[in-house]
Amino acid sequence: MDRTTASVQARLAATQSFGGLINAMRGMAAARTERARTRIAGANAYSRTVAAAISQALALLPAGDAAASTRTSDGSGAVLWLVFGAEQGFNGGYTERVLDALPSGVPAPRIVLLGEQAKRIAHARRLRIEAHAPLVAHADAVIPASERLRRLLLDTLAERPAASVELLFGELGSGNHFELRRQRLLPLDLATLRATPAQAPRVYQPPAELLSLLAGEYVTARLARAILHSHAVENLARLSAMAAAHKNVAKMGEALQAELRQRRQEAITAEVVELAAGLRSLRKRSETTPKI
């Protein structure tokens, strides 16, 4: 075996090994996407439950008192963006798409950035970030992550108030589709939440205090939903990227297999030609050798 054939065999073995790694990443991304998809239904139901409780609590207060109970800033300053990027790489440029969706112009947007890979890409783009937090590696960690994010958001607003807080994240759709969403988080849309309950709820604490607690719980539920969607979309994007990579690796493997077969055929042909030349040489020597 010559060095060239050995090199092709080594490249083929490396390609096959890389293909196995890609398949493992595809399986992991698919499993994480489906796990997050099942958790999203629960997050939606919880958000609706808290929203219904807020609507009942609002009925106990005048409109002005309700607005004061749920205010998180003094209304001054620019919009604060909570940007949900990617936690890990190999996602086919998903984080770049999220960052491209930020509003452009002067002044630069205020950003709280989520995701470790998103942080690296934002630094490469020289984006100014007010705060950063990691996202989740699996859907089961979403509850503590949403509580940490709410505390980070409140600390950021306490240091520098904002007129509003906007969410920018990837939202999982039906099948294997997703789209980027911009949603208002704060201030709460009390006009939408306010409703007249069929029966006044029984409460054991001041309505204003109850509404403030429910508002905090509602924000946490909305953040949990955004984290879950972002986690699912990140893995869906990774699944798509790994599918494309698998196709390319398969083509490379087929090309290397064909090259290896060709080189083996060339080696066999060379051996046959050499053997035939040797036989002809032996035949000529036997013909020219005098008989005794």
What is the bridge-based pairing of β-strands 79-84 and 164-172? parallel
Averaged over successive runs of 10 residues, the pLDDT of the chain (292 residues) comes to: 71 76 82 89 89 82 56 64 92 91 82 95 92 92 93 93 94 85 87 61 77 89 94 90 79 79 79 78 71 58
Q: Identify the pLDDT of residue 130.
A: 94
Q: Identify the pLDDT of residue 253.
A: 78
- Domain 39-198+206-241 maps to which CATH number in 3.40.1380.10, 3.40.718.10, 3.60.20.10, 3.30.930.10? 3.40.1380.10
Kindly state the tokens that stand for 154. 């409140």
What strand order describes the sheet that includes 178-186?
131-133, 110-114, 79-84, 164-172, 178-186
Q: Identify the pLDDT of residue 159.
A: 92
Q: Which sequence spans correspond to the domains of the chain?
A: 39-198+206-241
- Strands, E assignment, the chain: 79-84, 110-114, 131-133, 164-172, 178-186
Q: Measured between alpha carbons, how far is residue 143 from residues 52, 69, 165, 235, 253 in Å?
A: 20, 24, 20, 19, 43
Kindly state the tokens that stand for 240. 């798509």
Q: Identify the pLDDT of residue 56.
A: 82
Q: Identify the pLDDT of residue 80.
A: 95
pTM of the model: 0.77
Q: Identify the pLDDT of residue 201.
A: 67
